[in-house]
Amino acid sequence: MERVADYPRPPSAEVDARRVRVVHNGRTIADKWADGAATMFGLMTSGFPNLFLMPCPGQQAVVTVNYTLLAEVGAEFVASTIAALDAMDVDAFEVTEDAESEWVQRVMADSMAAAPPPGGVPCTPGSRMLFDDDGNMVLLDHHAGTYGGGFGDYFGYRDLLADWLASGDFAGLRLDRDEPR
């Protein structure tokens, strides 16, 4: 983690009792996502180098009844990615806009907003997914979809992250390398 702090353009965090605001070059994630979330895997977003997000509903990961399980997958992915990038003497990484756009399009194509399930939806799986008392969609941000559509494909998502990491090519990331140690 010390090496991340040495990077010349790290995001800064402003902390108060209610939230953490991540700012990079004067822009917050909230500013960037004003028209909807934009991520790669729901874990990284372009324009914010060396920043990982934890997967959660509404930011293009998956929804599961056991959030702890999803948080564990996210934490393992983040830790393993940091270790692999460190082993390659990578000083900084950033998601490319093309990779982020491809992920967003993939999520949006499978969105429940594009094709609501027959008979409506039995519950509200995230703050961006709102339904009336009869199960009819009132508002659903296409950007708030999940990998695999609907409530998501947890096992497919977990495997996708593992396969991406195992490939070792870090497709979709721009890498800045340190001088060799």
Q: pTM of whole model > 0.95?
A: no
Angstrom distance (rounded) from CA 177 to CA 92: 7
36-82 pLDDT per residue, tens: 889 999 999 999 999 999 988 778 888 777 888 889 999 999 999 99
Q: Residue 127: its pLDDT value, please? A: 38
Which range has the worst mean pLDDT, 56-60, 107-111, 117-121, 145-149?
117-121
Class of domain 2-177: alpha beta
Q: Choose from 2-6, 7-11, 105-109 the range with maximum mean pLDDT.
A: 105-109
Angstrom distance (rounded) from CA 81 to CA 37: 22
Token pair, residue 116, equals 């609501």
